Structure 1
């Protein structure tokens, strides 16, 4: 599975310049390549992000999560989310699962990984608990 240069470039911009709150990636099966599907602006929220994931198709995504620690320190962590809803095609789930580790290696700086098959598995409570 190839990874478009745009994926790496946009991820670097999210990580270094904080130009984006999140990025949703899609595998283009016709050319066997991961591409950028959606860029979330810095003002967008976690709800905007979760609403941008399709109900019945797999996606990869990264989300820049800002939070405050118990010591009252502002921090941020980059989450990698493998979205594979139960209603997506079996072939698609297999393709995303088999390509995930290779794709994730291309994105240097991922701090937390989540796998979700429905929105409850990536709720804000879960994200907060994994960040701290």
Structure 2
């Protein structure tokens, strides 16, 4: 009797996310996210799955329309509908805005996917540590 070898289960890449410590003062940026691409349909489910439970269910996501690939107006993530919005606002070209009704709004710096690991880590650390100023 022979046994067939099963192919290895593909590993899921680690979410590259650094969040600022929770505090009482409002922050201009709540952390940094380093996606592997600008494909929102591929990247967003991984991001939302890795967020703290305390943030609640994210129902709306706004990204820079000039950077991210085209996406529908909403998508299903973990059996929940998430509204997708695109903006070309010059004030926040490198951020993603996450909204959870009754819980809050979180702005994450988006580190360009093609950035080197050393530069990305430095940028993420600065974004998570920044208090009272823009990164």
| TM-score, normalization by structure 1 | 0.31
Structure 1 or 2: larger helix share?
1
Greater relative contact order, per chain length (Cα 8 Å cut-off, separation 6+): 2
State which structure, 1 or 2, has the greater radius of gyration over its C-alpha atoms. Answer: 2
